[in-house]
Chain A
Amino acid sequence: MKKIWIALQLIVITTTILVLDVIAQDNEVSDREKRRLQMFPEISLKGFFSGEFANRLNDYVEDQFFIRDNLSAVKSWVSYNVFNNPINNNIYLVDGVMFDHVYPIDNIGIDNFLEKISNMQMMFKNTSRVVIIPEKSMYLGNEYLHIEPTDIETYFSDYSFMYNSLSLEDYYKTDLHLTHKGSYNIYKTLVDNPIEVDFVKVSEDFQGYYSNKAMNLFIKDDMYIASNEIIDNLEICSLSSNSYECRDGVYFNENLLIEDKYSVYLDGNKPITTIINDQVEEGELVIFSDSYGTSIAPFLAQHYHKITVMDLRLMGISYAMEYVSSEAEILYLYGYKTINDSSIST
């Protein structure tokens, strides 16, 4: 037999892929990438001659490729294991833990953040505190390029930079966020008399944002929620479609069944979320935060009658002003990555 097996195999492979890709149903949204996918573009002469049709068709084929996720996983494996590259899609994989390659220091981003915080502190004369959650990669070993906490501490000398209060174990292995236990450690530094809680494991297969980005689907995290008499009786209200919806309990266990399991805490990122604690008669706290806030708020809610968590990436500052009373304390709580990306506000 003549040597034609490579050709035959490739013909079979590409033809099979072509047929299966044509048959496969198109998806409107990618759960993994959390974005809308390109659908088959409209055919028009204008679109054809402008080149728009060609670009969209290209995007369509790539977005709707039926083994897209599987092949991304192959690429990830080859990058980490064959090319011995510690970074894939900007995510480090070191000893079973994933880290974002946040580097170098973005001085403009930091200045931008400091200016915004300063403006807000001038706008709201309330008692306030600024807490910075260190970027997880700051706990990487010296052999991996990362921002050293000592290089940025001076920027945050007036604030609470939590590097020494945390350790790598306080973060999820597959995500940028603090675990609920890690958030509890932050909480302990923020109040004088922290209240004991029980942690209840609610998931053993949490795969965070980094898993999707690095397409490493083998590493999983445990996920916990906290429980005690106070937390179990908190009430939560959040703004949805211009109306408040309230319910009992700050944990949304039903979200453990969806891709974005992290939204178990306060139902994920919302412009405004309010937690009411009827067991405490007074005290109000406003938290301006990115997604780190949703995991920490339940612990802090034990000490206030009302906590309002606001995400300025999802709403305008003028709108936020309506929700800050003069008696409220304010906590500005941000992860360093948000600061380095200077994306505190939309």
Chain B
Amino acid sequence: MVFSSLLFIIYFLPIVLIAYYKLKNYRNIVLLIASLFFYAFGEPVYIILLLFSSSIDFLLSKKLGEEDNEFKRKIYLLVSVVMNLGLLGFFKYGDFLIANVNSLTGLSINLMDLPLPIGISFYSFQTLSYTIDVYRKRVEPQKRYIDFTMYVSMFPQLIAGPIVRYIDVEKQIKTRKHSLINIEEGMKRFIMGLSKKVLLADQMALLNVTLLKTEGSVLGYWLAIIAFALQIYFDFSGYSDMAIGLGKMFGFDLLENFNYPYISKSISEFWRRWHISLGNWFKDYLYFPLGGSKVSKNKVVRNLLIVWLLTGLWHGASWNYILWGIYFGFFIVMEKTLLKNILDKVPALIRHIYTLLVVLFGWVIFSLEDLSKQIIVYKGMLGIDVPLFNEESIFYFRQYLIILIISLICSLPVIKHIRVPYKLKIALYVILFIVTVSFIVDSSFSPFIYFRF
């Protein structure tokens, strides 16, 4: 089930909210059942995998909490790490590995063609962080299986994050504040996220796809990549907004996942503002254990490149994601070494332009799996063998101008500074909700021309 569907908005969410607030003593059970239903709706079979993985982690962490023998504790942790990464590796990277072995060796091992379990990248990292934190004695192991499974499967963040670490919601799992004000805040945030996804991201996706199909021009290629940059931002941050909003409705305070990344003045800053929960996860569970920046310069470079290689790989089982990770790793290493003094001296505007250019060129790698297509787009953006503009690029620019302007404004911290009287706010949110739902409804509207034509 997806948040941007009528089934979720009109049926699932209201029914779950009513059950949740009616059955005061069973709130975690209601959330657990709702979450399992939510998950089963998209992946009925893989629910077994989700329950298996969380059950093993629950048992291992319990053992970790009881055990004093350091060797045994390490074994428990190792089993958890191997299981979580093993499942993730098998389902997400299995075919990628086989395909590469085949192409390198000339073998023809059959691909498994297994569908990727929804949310596995997110819940694997969540449960991993939990067992590691129990091992490090930063948190007490959860004693109630229902509470733990509810934490792992909680539907607001199950499918696309943010990666909620157990340590951040440990207390809220047991006791959390419920109020109409929280519900109001949650609903506002959910509507903002939903409208970002439906009104902006989906429109930008259309512009990107349309432009990449047309005859190329410099304007067209730049527009296509800017559209993709806005699409992925509103898609992902919109989903995070919806997750945070839903969390609030159920009394949880989930951490922010985006903080206006496109205003950044360096790549390091961009990654402190983009997918914050993933960055923090890699920092705490990989970068720091590797020594972080408190080691020799060479080792810092090594650590950064490992982290960014794996960050790229986390995004998908394809070479373009690995390349994308290394690409950012390269710029972050450069910013910590050669570019450090230069960036400190140049005006903020130049730093901002530099960051946007690096990010936009990076989205080309991210969005196009095929290297030859990436080269075509790069050449187009640089004006090699294509006109500056053509009839199509001008038309699509004009067609999407208003929505492009709205998207650009919404990607900057502008609106949050505008003070709106509460009465007007009520009307605006209700209108935004209706308009967003109208776009969702219309996306399934498919007149059948055959009858008439």
Contact = CB atoms under 8 A, between A and B. Distances in A.
A71 B198 CA distance: 14
A10 B187 contact: yes
A107 interface: no
Contact of A85 (B9, B214, B399): B399
Contacts of B40: 48
Contact of B437 (A3, A71, A104): A71
Q: Classify the interface of chain B: helix, strand, loop or mixed.
A: helix
Contacts of B392: 145
A63 B442 contact: no
A212 B10 contact: no
Contact of A14 (B14, B406, B422): B14
A5 B451 contact: no
Q: Classify the interface of chain A: helix, strand, loop or mixed.
A: helix
Interface residues of B, number: 59
A61 interface: yes
B391 A145 contact: yes
Contacts of A13: 430, 433
A160 B450 CA distance: 25
Given A4-B180, A85-B400, A145-B392, A63 B444 contact: yes
A49 B45 contact: yes
A243 B445 CA distance: 35
Contacts of B425: 6
B14 A7 contact: no
Interface residues of A, number: 64
Contacts of B191: 10
A193 interface: no
B438 A71 contact: yes
Contacts of A14: 9-10, 13-14
Nearest to B423: A5
A87 interface: yes
Contacts of A65: 6, 10, 441
A299 interface: no
Contacts of B445: 33, 68, 72, 89, 215
B435 A74 contact: yes
Nearest to B441: A71
Contacts of B402: 82-85
A18 B11 contact: yes
A15 B14 CA distance: 7
B387 interface: no
Contacts of A185: none
A78 B435 contact: yes
Given A13-B433, A33-B446, A62-B6, A6 B188 contact: yes
Interface string B411-425: 000000000001001
Interface in B268-297: none
Contacts of A82: 402
Nearest to A32: B447
Given A3-B181, A33-B446, A49-B44, A61 B441 contact: no
B1 A54 contact: yes
> Which residue of A6, A48, A84, A343 has the most chain B CB atoms within 10 A of its CB atom?
A6
Contacts of B452: 34, 209, 260, 262, 269, 291
B401 interface: yes
B438 A74 contact: yes
A75 to B, nearest CB: 4
A145 B395 contact: yes
A51 B447 contact: no
B100 interface: no
A48 B403 CA distance: 39
> Which residue of A2, A13, A14, A143 has the most chain B CB atoms within 10 A of its CB atom?
A14
Given A9-B430, A34-B448, A58 B184 contact: no
A17 interface: yes
A290 B452 CA distance: 9
B449 interface: yes
A296 to B, nearest CB: 15
A213 B451 CA distance: 13
Interface in B1-40: 1, 5-7, 9-11, 13-15, 40
B433 A10 contact: yes
Contacts of B5: 58, 61-62
A35 to B, nearest CB: 4
B10 A21 contact: yes
A209 B391 contact: no
B71 interface: no
Contact of B442 (A54, A72, A209): A72
B145 interface: no
Given A49-B45, A72-B442, A4 B184 contact: yes
A209 B447 contact: yes
11 contacts: A7-B180, A18-B14, A33-B447, A78-B438, A85-B402, A87-B399, A145-B391, A209-B447, A269-B451, A290-B453, A313-B450
Question: When A and B form their complex, which 9 residue pairs have the shortest distance between CB atoms, in order from nearest?
Answer: A7-B184, A71-B438, A74-B438, A75-B442, A75-B438, A145-B395, A35-B448, A34-B451, A62-B444
Interface of A: 2-11, 13-15, 17-18, 21, 32-35, 48-51, 54, 57-59, 61-63, 65, 68, 71-72, 74-76, 78, 82-87, 89, 104, 143-145, 176, 209, 212-213, 215, 260, 262, 269, 290-291, 313, 337-338, 343
Given A68-B441, A86-B399, A291-B453, 15 more contacts: A33-B448, A34-B447, A34-B450, A35-B448, A48-B40, A57-B7, A65-B441, A71-B441, A72-B438, A75-B435, A83-B402, A85-B403, A145-B392, A269-B453, A343-B453
